[in-house]
Copies of this chain bind each other. A is one copy, B any other.
Amino acid sequence: MRKVLCRLCPTVFVPPHRSIFPRFFMSSEKGEKLEHPPWSQPSEGNDKGVTVFNSLTGVKNRFLPQEGNQINWYACGPTVYSSAHLGHARAYITFDIIRRILEDYFGYDINYVMNITDVDDKIIFRARRTYLFDEYCANVDKLEFSKVVSDIDEGFSICRSKLLESIGQIKEELKTTPKKQILDKTTILKGEQLKLKNLDKHLLSFRQSSKKGSSELSEILVSGRDYLSELLDHRKGADVRDLSIFKKHSEKYEKEFLEDMRALNIRDADSLTRVTEYIPQIIKFVEKLISNGFAYESNGSVYFDIAAFRAKHPYPRLRPNQLGNVKLLNEGEGSIKPEGVEKKNPIDFALWKKSKGGEPWWESPWAQGRPGWHIECSTMASHLLGSVLDIHSGGEDLCFPHHDNEMAQSEAFYEEIGLKQWVNYFLHAGHLGIDGLKMAKSLKNFITIRQALESSTPRQVRICFLMQSWHKNMDYSTAALQSAASKDKQLQEFFLNLKIAIRRNGLLSASPQGWNSEDTKLNVEILRVQSAVHKSLRDNFDYPLAIKLLFELQNSTNTYLRGETKTLLLRKVGNYLTRMLRIFGVIDDNPMGFPSQSSEPEACLAPFLDLFCSFRDQIREGSKQKDSSNFSQIVSSTQTLLSTLTEDQKSSQGTNDASESKEFREKRENIVSALEEYTSQVLDGVEKGKDPSYYLQISDFVRDNVMPKHGVRMEDPTSSFQIGSVWKLANAETLLREQREKQAQRKEQEILKINRKIKDLTKQFEKFSTAERPFEEQFSLKYPDKEFTRFDEEHLPSHIRVGDKEEAISSKQRKKHQKDLRVFMKSKENSKGPEFLSHLSEEISKLRSNLSEIS
């Protein structure tokens, strides 16, 4: 897997290896459970034995819809201010899986509404900044380099001092923080410190590049964009008044979000609700809250009156112990505060915010303004789904204050009808962590969905999340993605192998169907897995367990595949796994309507490919046995079979509508031509009396270069256990890529082999050329660190230089040299003379030129 680079913050690398450690504590943990206000169990709808972890109780509750088979589901959707990241993907994939399980496995009918938050402080900031930055850049020709640098520098300062201020404040708070909140607070501090560190790194590299003068103005603008935008917004943000600027921004990211969801194979909502399309309904909702006595106006803004509400209703339901958490409340309120507001209580939250310059606005009974964050969900859910939701879902971080405030609003709204429980089941997906921190935009530690899909397929991403419990936090890691990729590959191969075994078994009517003990054993395993999967999915959608069970069934079936098999049992396994994987969204949803092409490609291609493989197997087998005597006979019988098959196919066509599509006919025709070409090459070989190697070569060529183009992978048997070659249908592009990779591998091996040979030959050459030399020289070569000054008539060294003097060789040493000499003489005897040497040298240069040709 490639290193993943954060797009907005190019200096931060995500380390390539991380261990995955799902954190097993629940987000609403220790003690809190007791503090949840009472929850009432629905009792009217269809009970299918499902239990679900409900954030409203902190435990698993029996799941029943309000009425019949229908489920009302409101899902918190995206705030469309920038690209969605893997953390978002996890939440959306999680709820997609649960929705599919409820719809396709348990058979509930679901009405699924998702909101799009397209009015929000973050959108306002981002849209304004993008607009101001673009405006700045539009005049780039008139800008001086130094002016731009100093503007960006100023932007850095603004950001830096904001961060420092925040860090100081948190440190101050930590001194008085109660013990059990210290962990949370420290995590926040850590986040702020990471931001500061990133900023300083960024600043450093910016200063270097801007000083050197080697950078272009455009490069400076790109790298300093965020900080320059901060400055521009600081200076001119309040002057941005055109509503379309905000609309354009949110539309762009909504489009991107929907494309991402589609790419991840996430089912469409039945309705998307945009805040900007429900302003009149929101205003009415707020008016009702005021008239019910749960909200008040303050200087053109409207606030929810927590004290008034708490006098009659429990609050907060989801996180009772967060009541006074002003930090979280403030985050929920957004960073743009209306002017001149006086809240009755600091924990009151905004329902309507009066807009100042640089903010979008709509007319209202109070002031020109816009909705607070929480009010949209209460309004839109009520508008589309009525007064009680069966399921409300969102990421874990939305619990407080967002979801608690939504519930307060809705209960306040439905005061008259005495609504006690707006949401029956509140589902919160665990978050995706990275380095122990939550993956988040603000921490710049995220990987966008698009980045992730550059190196992983959507199926791999989904399998990765399927292996983790939905309501528990998990850490992101490339190891987890790699493991998912390998599981994906395993499943693919498994299905292909099932299909091969089924084809090999031939017609049902021509093979025994009575069950032996192996068949019974596999059937018992199927029943066991089906029951256990059923139990696991009823138990709070425990899909990691279900996936584990499916892989167990896969393994048992692999064992079963080693013996004789029953086609019907293989189909049962294959169809069951396909069904479950489709329910989990691993296999794509069915297209809507009637299929535009009829049968499976396998069905119409199988007889042709079987014939192809059988012909090729016979040719290869004969070549290996060095016996090509019956090849022309094999060719002729194959040709006869082929023409029979083709006739059959023609006569079965046109009898009814469901005849095969043009695409598959073309594919079949390609395969037939390839086989014809191949048989004629074999015949050609027979006529010309070719070597067995010729046939093996053309057979390899067919496998490696011809069939992949037609989307067919041929696999030769890898052990004597296998009977013959097999074929698998796959995407032609994938096969060609596999082929290229295989060829590259083969080339590498070839290069290695030649290099090894060159090394060998060079060694030989050195050995033999040395043996040809005078013995005196050979002594000097053997002892390169000694200098022999004189030799005797036996060619043995007699004197040696020591320092600047000459010494006689000791008798002990002389004996050793006599041994050396015997070796030299032996070598000289064995030496093959200068002709052999020149032969060796030729060989070596031949190999070297081979090598350069290959690479």
Interface on A for B, CB 8 Å cutoff? 46, 48-49, 68-70, 105-107, 109, 111, 116, 251, 254-255, 258, 268-274, 277-278, 383-384, 453-454, 457-458, 491-492, 495-496, 498-499, 507-510, 512-515, 523, 527, 530-531, 534, 566, 568-569, 571-572, 574-575, 578-579, 582, 587-598, 600-602, 653-659, 661-664, 666-667, 710-711, 729-734
Q: With A514-B274, A656-B457 as given contacts, are A596 and B592 in contact (CB-CB < 8 Å)?
A: no
In the complex, residue of chain B having the shortest beta-carbon distance to the beta carbon of A251: B509
Cα-based distance from A662 to B733 in the complex (angstroms):
8
Cα(A569)–Cα(B592), bound, Å:
13
CB distance A568 to B255 under 8 Å?
Answer: no
Q: How far is the CA of A600 from the CA of B591 in the complex (A)?
A: 7
3 residue pairs, one from A and one from B, having the closest CB atoms: A495-B593, A277-B514, A663-B663
**Which residue, A278, A384, A499, A514, has most C-beta atoms of chain B within 10 A?**
A514
Asked if B662 and A271 make an inter-chain contact with CB atoms under 8 angstroms apart, the answer reads no
A590 contacts B568, C-beta separation under 8 Å: no
Contact present for A657 and B495 (CB under 8 Å): no
**Chain multiplicity (copies):** 2
Task: Determine if B513 and A596 form an interchain contact, defined as CB atoms under 8 angstroms apart.
Answer: no
Q: Are B69 and A531 in contact (CB under 8 A)?
A: yes
Let me know if B659 and A733 touch, CB within 8 A.
yes
Chain B hits for A251, CB < 8 A: 509-510
**Chain B neighbourhood of A598, CB < 8 A:** 588, 731
- Which residues from B are CB-within-8-Å of A711? 596, 661-662
Known: A254-B509, A513-B271. A593 touches B457 (CB 8 A): no
Q: Which of B271, B568, B571, B597 contacts A592 (CB 8 A)?
A: B571
Q: Whole-angstrom distance between the alpha carbons of A523 and B589 in the complex?
A: 22
Residues from chain B with Cβ under 8 Å of A513 in the complex: 116, 271-274, 277
Q: Which of B106, B273, B657 contacts A734 (CB 8 A)?
A: B657
Q: How far is B538's CA from A48's CA once the two chains are assembled, in angstroms?
A: 14
- Chain B residues within 8 Å of A710, by CB: 662
Complex Cα–Cα for A272 and B711 (A): 34
A107 CB contact (under 8 Å) in B105, B255, B589: B105
In the complex, how many angstroms separate the beta carbon of A169 from the nearest chain B beta carbon?
39
A531 touches B68 (CB 8 A): yes
CA A666 to CA B531, docked complex, whole Å: 45
Given known A271-B515, A278-B514, A507-B255, contact A731–B661 (CB-CB < 8 A) = yes
List residues of chain B with CB within 8 A of the CB of A274: 513-514
CB-CB under 8 A from A384, the residues of chain B are 515
Shortest Cβ distance from residue A571 to the other chain B in the assembled complex, whole angstroms: 6
* Contact present for B592 and A575 (CB under 8 Å): yes
Q: Is the CB–CB distance between A658 and B457 below 8 Å?
A: yes
- A563 to chain B minimum Cβ distance, whole angstroms, is 17
